[in-house]
Amino acid sequence: MAYLFTSESVSEGHPDKIADQISDALIDNFLAFDPESKVACETLVTTGQVVLAGEVKSKIYLDVQQIARDVIKKIGYTKGEYMFDANSCGVLSAIHEQSQDINQGVDRQSKEDQGAGDQGMMFGYATNETEDYMPLALNLSHKLLQELAALRRESKEITYLRPDAKSQVTLEYDNDNKPVRIDAIVISTQHDEFADEPTMLAKIEKDIKEILIPRVIKNNPQYAHLFNDKINYHINPTGKFVIGGPHGDAGLTGRKIIVDTYGGKGAHGGGAFSGKDPSKVDRSAAYATRHIAKNLVAAGVADEILVQVSYAIGVAKPMGIYIHTYGTNNVNLTDGEIAKKVEQLFDMRPYFIEQRLKLRNPIYSETAAYGHMGRKPQTVTKKFTAPNGEQKELEVELFTWEKLDYVDKVKEAFSL
């Protein structure tokens, strides 16, 4: 029977995403100058105020206030009328030394024996319904907001946009679990004050339908067939949206974990990613399970795969690996037998995850908006400056967990 499925996304100017981006900028700066840094950093943003809290073990001292302001400025909160401005907001730091009780469970005399930074379970997911092996509804939700942000920065076609925005896409699937069309699109975007509300609502709706949507279709032609004249649009459905960002709603690190992962498809272990160095398996093992799932689907083991791994704090070897193929298995093995082969192919001890995916590099700021999964692997050069004037220029690989570098090994292991 045909059914509907919905996913949402939020923009880089959404309060929770501001918090995520500040936390991950701190991670990057600590790792740039001390790759062995241990960091767990939370951020709160509200009207005119940023609060930083967490635990750090590092050899480098950073100007965390300036790092936060730089992130806020880059996002676009640069006007006093937003009631949250990079140059004038208060930044309070309550960051302190990491607990030795926690650290002793992670650090070991031999790095290979490094323990997990916490207990818990992590999930990775992949599906072949899109080219990047991601759920389609989430992909479209992200792309709507990425294009909206690009329009905001260009300031040519739509000049009234402010940084805060949300999107939501509902897809219709057929009896074979294939997406056939977009049923509904929700866009809520913050905007400047208009002279009168009816004109404002009509203008925003017209611009979204006639400028944003065609731009999304043009830049993503593989999805053009899903758009149709029967889509139910809900554009700024509450009406006026001038008050937004941290002035309209407080933001916290780690409150958009479904936006960060698979949009409600698959599963989520519950742990957030942003603000955590890779010794925290909430982050590193979630990336590693995505890497496994994507390579398995790309190799043809199944059309859709969920991978779970679980840990005990301070213990290197995971409690176990679980595989679920949703009945799309293409090999003559049970899901349990597939899991056994995965265990042999991928070393899931924390140190080996860090090494395999090159996670002790400053690669996290780019993950903190528009999803941690399904992004394009690339090599970039990044520059960092410490308060003492020391500068670092590093060439790093972004989104290494999205690489299809294990496909051949998987095919060999499964005789594909």
Q: Which amino acid is at 414?
A: F
DSSP 3-state of 222:
helix
Tokens 């995505």 belong to which residue? 290
Q: Say how far apart CA 262 and CA 282 lie, in whole Å.
A: 15
Candidate list 256, 283, 294, 372, residue with the active-site label: 256
- Could you tell me if residue 153 is inside a domain? yes
Give the per-residue pLDDT at 195: 79
The answer to whether 249 is a known catalytic residue is yes
Give the per-residue pLDDT at 116: 85
From the annotation, which residues make up the binding site?
A: 14, 16, 42, 55, 98, 164-166, 240-241, 249, 255-256, 272, 276, 280
- Could you tell me if residue 407 is inside a domain? yes
Q: Say how far apart CA 13 and CA 369 lie, in whole Å.
A: 9
User: What are the CB-based long-range contacts (under 8 Å, 24+) for 409-413?
Assistant: 409/345, 410/295, 410/296, 410/299, 410/301, 410/345, 411/299, 411/300, 413/341, 413/344, 413/345
Structure tokens at 394: 């590093």
Candidate list 38, 57, 69, 166, residue with the active-site label: 166
From the annotation, which residues make up the binding site for Mg(2+)?
A: 16
**Is the same domain home to 287 and 406?**
yes
Residue ranges of alpha helices (H) inside 115-244 are 136-154, 197-207, 213-219
- Could you tell me if residue 97 is inside a domain? no
Give the per-residue pLDDT at 155: 77
8 Å CB contact between 376 and 264: no
Q: Say how far apart CA 119 and CA 300 lie, in whole Å.
A: 32
The answer to whether 286 is a known catalytic residue is no
pLDDT, one tens digit per residue, over 83-110 is 999 999 999 999 998 666 555 556 656 6
**Is the same domain home to 373 and 296?**
yes
Q: Residue 302 carries which DSSP code?
A: B
- Could you tell me if residue 225 is inside a domain? yes
Candidate list 5, 8, 17, 247, residue with the active-site label: 17
The answer to whether 34 is a known catalytic residue is no
- Could you tell me if residue 38 is inside a domain? no
CATH of the domain at 328: 3.30.300.10
With a cut of 70, list the residues of the chain below it in pLDDT. 1, 98-110, 113
Q: Residue 82 carries which DSSP code?
A: G
- Could you tell me if residue 102 is inside a domain? no
Candidate list 12, 16, 24, 129, residue with the active-site label: 16
The answer to whether 14 is a known catalytic residue is yes
Structure tokens at 118: 């916490």
**Is the same domain home to 124 and 154?**
no
Q: Say how far apart CA 143 and CA 224 lie, in whole Å.
A: 13
The answer to whether 280 is a known catalytic residue is yes
Residue ranges of alpha helices (H) inside 272-349 are 281-299, 335-345
8 Å CB contact between 165 and 151: no
Choose the final residue of a domain: 230, 245, 260.
Answer: 245
**Is the same domain home to 316 and 212?**
no
Candidate list 255, 268, 291, 349, residue with the active-site label: 255
**Is the same domain home to 351 and 239?**
no
Other Cβ atoms within 10 Å of 333 Cβ, number: 16
Candidate list 53, 184, 250, 267, residue with the active-site label: 250
From the annotation, which residues make up the binding site for K(+)?
A: 42
**Is the same domain home to 240 and 294?**
no
**Is the same domain home to 202 and 307?**
no
Range of the domain at 237: 3-9+136-245
Structural domain count, the chain: 2
Give the per-residue pLDDT at 106: 63
**Is the same domain home to 237 and 290?**
no
**Is the same domain home to 212 and 330?**
no
Choose the final residue of a domain: 203, 230, 245.
Answer: 245
8 Å CB contact between 25 and 193: no
pLDDT, one tens digit per residue, over 299-344 is 999 999 999 999 998 899 999 999 999 999 999 999 999 999 999 9
**Is the same domain home to 321 and 362?**
yes
**Is the same domain home to 284 and 396?**
yes
The answer to whether 16 is a known catalytic residue is yes
Structure tokens at 356: 């395999």
- Could you tell me if residue 108 is inside a domain? no
From the annotation, which residues make up the binding site for ATP?
A: 14, 164-166, 240-241, 249, 255-256, 272, 276
**Is the same domain home to 226 and 293?**
no
- Could you tell me if residue 93 is inside a domain? no
The answer to whether 166 is a known catalytic residue is yes
Choose the final residue of a domain: 197, 220, 245.
Answer: 245
What is the β-pairing status of strands 49-57 and 90-97? parallel
